[in-house]
A and B are shown apart, each in its own frame.
Chain A
Amino acid sequence: MDLLLRFRNALVLIAVLLAQALALAVQVRTPSNAADPDTGSVRLIRRWTSAVITPFERVTHSMGLGVRGIWNGYIDLRHIRRQNQELRDQLTQMRIQEAAIAEDAAEGRRLQALLAFKQKYVASTVAAQVIGSSGSDLSHVVTIDKGARDGLKPDMAVITSDGIVGKVRDVFPTSAQVLEINDQNSGAGVILATTRIRAILHGTAAGQAEIGNLMPDSRIKPGEQVITSGGDQVYPRGLPVGTIQSIRPDSDHPPYTAIVVHPAVDLNRLEEVLVITGTQPDLPASAEQDLIDAEARHAADVRAERLPSIDDSDDLLHTANGAASPAATPPPAADQRLVIPKPLPALHTDRYSSGATPPAADLTPGSTITPQAVQPAPSTQHSASQPASSGSRPDAPQ
């Protein structure tokens, strides 16, 4: 008994360390389930801690938002007009790009249909605000203000408009922990956009996102875009992940390379995120309509570019939207603008000019076309503006 009292300090320390070592062993030994990464007791500890800390996080976050709102909305309004104009210009540019991309998307969908490819589209999302962090730079976890009551479940993908953020790790009733892609426990299936090489992205202890399962390849260059592959069943395919920042030999795992990826999202300054709560094999109805509109706009743009004399983009847009808008009426047949356009007459006709070649039925196989065979260009509605001496140039190629 005296011995116990004498060494009680050391015994308490040993007991505490032993208990925690056992807890660690249990956590490491238990195979982590994708939907539930923790064992029951560990999950309980995390839940209790979250229940204690999260209300304070919410309060501080709300106070911060209030102060920021007053500052941004009422005080710091410098350059707001110029910024507004820049954003409008940017919007115009993006609409043009959207139209171009829409056609590519349509083509992609046609090819996917041919190949019976099952694509997953984002069907539903839940917007959430980031209210806290893990507080450790060895662990890249953020706390969001939405939880199980909002339909969140473990392993749901978390994104922003810039790209992927990570996935939901632990879900509590009114909050959830999100494991960022640069955490050392995270992983994601990715594709290098240019070379189409598939790889696995994981985080490092230093908080970097890294690809470590590729052999040296001269085609892989810094600056190449990295997107999700969809193979991990967490992130939908094609979402931006980041760009390759550097490539170096992996000294720990030769002959592999360590490819550091700069995330597309600024993970240190997350404010609002979207949690993907559902995916579906077809595009959502609203996105489908957007795509139709974008295709129609693109068709109008192409027509305006190729046929600059015809300015009927609105008519074409209405025609393309005919199915969606029954009220739209077809253009009148008498409208000359919709008749197949005629080319402008050449200033100096030669054998390449429109209408200069005689009909095929009048030609003899093997014979050459003599200059006399060249007929004058047919008169058009623009012929009045042509010079009276229009004919073959003396030096025209024969």
Chain B
Amino acid sequence: MVTRSYMSRREVEQQSFSLPVAIIVPLAALLLQVVLPRLMPRLAILELPLIVTLFFAISRRSPIAGTLTGASIGLLQDALTSQPIGLNGMAKSLIGYIAASLGSRIDVDSPATRTLLTLAFSLLQSVLIYLIERKLLGVADFRMPWLHEVVRAVVNTLVALPAFLLLDRTRRQL
């Protein structure tokens, strides 16, 4: 006889990660983010912390976990820059929340969805950083190179697809 329990679709598809993976993967992304531009300056266009934030958010499908993951990664990223701490933290908190909320509603395992999500969230992050700089921090002469940001979004999408496939192997099905 089959035992049935009452679980939502989100709970059924919710996946978790072991603690080492949850710590090491974001740290590795941050480390690569600061080391790769030293080897090749053009690689500064990559946004590996955003890719990791998106992956954990849409995999866990928990808005709270997405928010906290985004905040943690963003704050660590801010600590390595000259920018005020909280700039990337706020942007990635919001992105983590929205990505996790979408993850519980749509199929985020298909490559097409992942492509669109990564592209959209890369652009959203640029918009959020622009708004925080201009409105919250009051930097009146802050200019965002929008064409560069579009290129960044495309490049990150191209990098995110194989990265997601690689990170899928770290999942632990509930």
Contact across chains for A134 and B93 when beta carbons are under 8 A apart? no
Contacts of B51 in A (CB 8 A): none
Q: B78-103: which have CB < 8 Å to A?
A: 79-87, 89-90, 93-94, 97, 101
Q: Given that A20-B90, A21-B86, A268-B41 are contacting pairs, would A132 and B35 also be in contact in the complex, using a CB cutoff of 8 Å?
A: yes
Residue B45 is within 8 A (CB to CB) of chain A in the complex: yes
Stretch at the interface among A44-52, A106-114, A157-165, A292-300: A44-52
Contacts of A131 in B (CB 8 A): 38
Choice from A20, A60, A133, A141 contacting B93 with Cβ under 8 Å: A20
Contact across chains for A16 and B34 when beta carbons are under 8 A apart? no
Residue A179 is within 8 A (CB to CB) of chain B in the complex: yes
Q: Given that A17-B90, A60-B35, A64-B39 are contacting pairs, would A134 and B82 also be in contact in the complex, using a CB cutoff of 8 Å?
A: yes
Residue A169 is within 8 A (CB to CB) of chain B in the complex: yes
In whole angstroms, what is the CA distance A138 to B129 when docked?
A: 10
Residue B33 is within 8 A (CB to CB) of chain A in the complex: yes
Nearest CB of chain A from residue B144's CB, rounded to whole Å = 7
Contact across chains for B68 and A185 when beta carbons are under 8 A apart? no
Residue B44 is within 8 A (CB to CB) of chain A in the complex: yes
Contact across chains for A135 and B37 when beta carbons are under 8 A apart? yes
Interface of B is mostly: helix
Contact across chains for A50 and B80 when beta carbons are under 8 A apart? yes
Q: Given that A8-B64, A53-B80, A206-B143 are contacting pairs, would A20 and B97 also be in contact in the complex, using a CB cutoff of 8 Å?
A: no
Residue B71 is within 8 A (CB to CB) of chain A in the complex: yes
Nearest CB of chain A from residue B53's CB, rounded to whole Å = 13
Choice from A28, A50, A52, A204 contacting B84 with Cβ under 8 Å: A28
Contact across chains for A12 and B67 when beta carbons are under 8 A apart? yes
In whole angstroms, what is the CA distance A45 to B72 when docked?
A: 11
Residue A269 is within 8 A (CB to CB) of chain B in the complex: yes
Q: Given that A135-B30, A136-B44 are contacting pairs, would A16 and B81 also be in contact in the complex, using a CB cutoff of 8 Å?
A: no
Q: A-facing mask of B53-85, CB < 8 A → 1, else 0?
A: 000000000011001100100011101111111
Nearest CB of chain B from residue A90's CB, rounded to whole Å = 27
Number of interface residues of A (CB under 8 A): 53
Nearest CB of chain A from residue B51's CB, rounded to whole Å = 13
Contact across chains for A133 and B38 when beta carbons are under 8 A apart? yes
Sample (14) of A-B pairs whose CB atoms are under 8 Å apart: A9-B64, A16-B71, A17-B90, A25-B136, A57-B31, A133-B35, A133-B37, A133-B38, A133-B44, A134-B81, A135-B37, A135-B80, A185-B82, A204-B143
User: Which B residues lie at the A interface, using CB under 8 A?
Assistant: 27, 30-31, 33-39, 41, 44-45, 63-64, 67-68, 71, 75-77, 79-87, 89-90, 93-94, 97, 101, 129, 132, 136-138, 141-145, 148
- In the complex, besides A49-B79, A138-B83, 12 extra interface pairs with C-beta distance below 8 angstroms are A9-B101, A12-B67, A23-B85, A24-B136, A53-B80, A56-B31, A132-B34, A134-B34, A141-B82, A185-B82, A205-B144, A268-B41
User: Which A residues lie at the B interface, using CB under 8 A?
Assistant: 8-10, 12-13, 16-17, 20-21, 23-25, 27-28, 42, 45-46, 48-50, 52-53, 56-57, 60-61, 64, 130-141, 143, 169, 177, 179, 183-185, 204-206, 252-253, 268-269
